[in-house]
Amino acid sequence: MTASAISRVAVVGTGVIGASWVAYFLARGLQVTATDPSSHARERLEDAVRQHWPTLASAGLAPGASPDNLTFHDTLDTTLEGAQFVQENGPERIDLKRELFAGIDAAVGPDVVIASSSSGLLISDVQTACRNPERVVLGHPFNPPHLIPLVEVIGGRLTSAAAIQHAIDFYRAIGKRPINPQRELPGHIANRLQAALWREAFHLVSIGAASVQDIDDAIAYGPGLRWAVMGPFANLHLSGGADGMRHLLDHLGGPIESWWAQLGTPALTPELKQQVIDGVGSALAGRKDSDLAVQRDSLILAMLRAKAAAPDIP
Task: Please tell me the predicted confidence (pLDDT) of residue 280.
Answer: 97
Using a pLDDT cut of 90, give the percent of the chain over it.
97
Task: Please tell me the predicted confidence (pLDDT) of residue 47.
Answer: 97
Per-residue pLDDT of 5-58, as tens digits, reads 999 999 999 999 999 999 999 999 999 999 999 999 999 999 999 999 999 999
Q: Is the peptide bond before 144 cis (omega within 30 degrees of 0)?
A: yes
Task: Please tell me the predicted confidence (pLDDT) of residue 36.
Answer: 97
Q: Sketch out the chain's domains with CATH numbers.
A: 3-179 (3.40.50.720), 190-308 (1.10.1040.10)
Task: Please tell me the predicted confidence (pLDDT) of residue 22.
Answer: 98
Dihedral sign for Cα atoms in the order 41, 46, 47, 53: positive
Angle at 85 between CA 84 and CA 89, to 5 degrees: 145
Task: Please tell me the predicted confidence (pLDDT) of residue 1.
Answer: 76
Q: In this structure, how many other beta carbons lie within 10 angstroms of the beta carbon of residue 150?
A: 16
Q: Is the pLDDT of residue 219 over 80?
A: yes
Separation CA 159–CA 101 (nearest Å): 14
Q: From residue 136, how far is each of 8, 80, 112, 237 by CA, in Å? A: 18, 15, 9, 37
Mean pLDDT of 140-165: 97
By the 8 A CB rule, do 99 and 30 touch? Answer: no
Task: Please tell me the predicted confidence (pLDDT) of residue 4.
Answer: 80
By the 8 A CB rule, do 117 and 153 touch? Answer: no
In this structure, which amino acid lies at residue 272? L
For 219-263, the DSSP string reads HHTTHHHHHTTS-HHHHHHHHTGGGHHHHHHHHHHHHHHHHHHH-
**Who has greater pLDDT, 146 or 4?**
146
Q: Is the pLDDT of residue 3 over 80?
A: no
Task: Please tell me the predicted confidence (pLDDT) of residue 2.
Answer: 86
Task: Please tell me the predicted confidence (pLDDT) of residue 172.
Answer: 97
Per-residue pLDDT of 260-285, as tens digits, reads 999 999 999 999 999 999 999 999 99
